[in-house]
Amino acid sequence: MKFLRRWKIQILLIFAVVGPGFITANVDNDANGILQYSQAGAQFGYMLLWTMIPTTIALIVVQEMCARMGAVTGKGLSDLIREEYGLRITFFMMIGILLTNFGNVVGEFVGIVGSMGLFGVSKYISVPICAVIVWLIAVKGQYKSVEKVFLLASFFYVTYIFAGALARPAWIAAMKATIKPPHMEAFGQSAYLYTVIGVVGTTIAPWMQFYLQSSIVEKGVTRRQYAASRLDVIVGCIFTDVVAWFIIVACAATLYLHGIRDIRDAADAAQALGPLAGQWASLLFALGLFNASLFAASILPLSTAYTVCEGLGFESGVERKFSEAPVFYWLYTALIVAGGAVVLIPGLPLIKIALLSQVVNGAVLPFVLIFMLLLINKKELMGEFVNKLTFNIIAWATTVIMIVLTALYVYGLVHGGAG
């Protein structure tokens, strides 16, 4: 009995802190992420599955540091950067975050248009309705209820696991490919190398670190509950990459097998799945895409408004009234309206915006990661919670690899690449 009760308390404790880590990791599988994984599966079958394990580790290492900083200092990442490195650096970083996040918001609306299009809904209906929903969720909801909605949205990603299973993949081959990278020859192919870089390079985005740390602070997680928060992060990252694995597998077992290699957007993949894996798989894939796009579209503008206002010292927070935090609300509203408008107004250069957003993403990321590592090693901030030596080695190695891959990815994009 006693044993049982202890377990019950443990589980309750985990539920009290679960959320921020799980949510943040899942938003990583947004419309852009799904496209990336679908292309990887369609073009190279199971050959990219091995990237999932290192990607998961990198994601955990980076996210864990943010969660730790949030729990120990009780301050957001942009607050800390501002306090330790001054206004100018913070300002430029915030401009970068604003640009790259705007590009991402546009990407999410493209995902909404694509997935709703599969259900025959015109974009002139889906985009305005979704924009209003997104706006209301944050402005009218309270943190607790909003978090519940987001958690629910995270669990909805299981649709991809079902879609993957419906695609009847060769499980054994897929498992093997997850553990063992392909022969070196594969890496000689520039298209393959480029896809590897794309999959790994888009794993860690600057906004995630800011969002996660602020959520941990807003949730009131302290050093005492930190262990549970770390578990939240780890579980979230693993779940996220399991979902990613199934997306790749679903596309590999169908599209790749039947020679459909050319996936332009994520909705293409959903449509192509229909005749090959059945209507259910296609439907689940499309629903998953819609969920992911709407989910990320709800979080990105909010996270951006929080980050920028915190860093630059404007009042922020959904618990404040419009008149108390005007910059916060205007920024938030503008991101949603402009993001939706870009998709609706014909003739606007969507691809260029996406490209610019990825380039800025790549330019901002090194700074964010390096600042994070510098901050988390400051004894006066973190006390006994500074990085241990081994962890530091892993973290710096991850950071360097991520920076190099992101730089290569951006270089490829700018020079027309092999995408």
Partner 1 sequence: MSTLALSELLGTTVYDSTGAASGRVREVALSPQEDRSKIAVLIVKTSSGNRFLPLSAVSAIDEGVRSSTAAGDWLQANGGEGLLLLSRDLLDQQVIDVHGRKVVRVNDVDFYRDTVLGRPTLKVEGVDVGARGAVRRLLKGVVPAPALRVLLQRLPQREIPWDFVDLIETDPARRVKLKISHERLAKLHPADIADIVEDLAPDEREAVFETLDEGVAADAMEELEPKVQKAVVESLDSDRAADIVEEMEPDAAADLLADLTEEHTAEILVQMQPEERQEVADLLEFKENTAAGRMTTEYIALPVASATNDAVEALRGFEGRMETMSTIFLIDSHGTLAGAVPLAKIVLALAATPLLALTQEPLISCHEDAHEKEFAELFDKYNLLTLPVIDEHNRLMGVITPDDVINMLRAKL
Residues of this chain that interact with partner 1 (CB under 8 A) are 73-75, 82-83, 86-88, 90-91, 217, 220, 222, 224, 312-313, 315
Nearest-approach distance from CB 79 to partner 1, in angstroms:
8
- Dihedral of CA atoms 131, 134, 135, 138 in degrees, nearest 10, equals -170
Residue 173 burial (10 A CB sphere; 0-12, 13-18, 19+): middle
Nearest-approach distance from CB 74 to partner 1, in angstroms:
3
Nearest-approach distance from CB 360 to partner 1, in angstroms:
19
Residue with Cβ nearer partner 1 (89 or 350): 89
Asked if 289 and 114 count as a contact pair (C-beta separation under 8 A), the reply is yes
Alpha helices, DSSP H, located in 313-387: 326-344, 350-376, 379-382
* Cα(339)–Cα(101) distance, integer angstroms: 10
Residue with Cβ nearer partner 1 (91 or 396): 91
Residue with tokens 């004894």: 379
**10 Å Cβ neighbour count for 152?**
11
Residue with Cβ nearer partner 1 (30 or 79): 79
Residue with Cβ nearer partner 1 (63 or 73): 73
397 alpha carbon, distance to own chain's centre:
21
Nearest-approach distance from CB 65 to partner 1, in angstroms:
18
3-state secondary structure 156-203: CCHHHHHHHHHCCCCHHHHHHHHHCCCCHHHHHCHHHHHHHHHHHHCC
Residue with Cβ nearer partner 1 (10 or 279): 10
Residue with Cβ nearer partner 1 (73 or 209): 73
Nearest-approach distance from CB 221 to partner 1, in angstroms:
10
- Dihedral of CA atoms 211, 55, 335, 23 in degrees, nearest 10, equals -50
What are the CA-CA distances from residue 92 to residues 1, 101, 183, 206, 356 (Å)? 57, 14, 43, 13, 16
Nearest-approach distance from CB 75 to partner 1, in angstroms:
5
Residue with Cβ nearer partner 1 (38 or 73): 73
* Cα(344)–Cα(266) distance, integer angstroms: 18
365-394 burial string, b = 16+ CB within 10 Å, else e? bbbbbebbbebbeeeebbeebbbeeeeeee
**Which of 197, 209, 196 lies closest to 370, judged by CA?**
209
Nearest-approach distance from CB 316 to partner 1, in angstroms:
11
Give the tokens for residue 307: 């980050």
CA triple 193-198-199, angle to 5 deg: 100
Nearest-approach distance from CB 87 to partner 1, in angstroms:
5
Residue with Cβ nearer partner 1 (82 or 230): 82
Residue with Cβ nearer partner 1 (217 or 251): 217
* Cα(276)–Cα(116) distance, integer angstroms: 21
Residue with Cβ nearer partner 1 (108 or 310): 310
| Single-letter code of the amino acid located at 24 | T
Nearest-approach distance from CB 144 to partner 1, in angstroms:
11
**10 Å Cβ neighbour count for 182?**
16
Residue with Cβ nearer partner 1 (73 or 159): 73
Nearest-approach distance from CB 49 to partner 1, in angstroms:
42
Nearest-approach distance from CB 338 to partner 1, in angstroms:
22
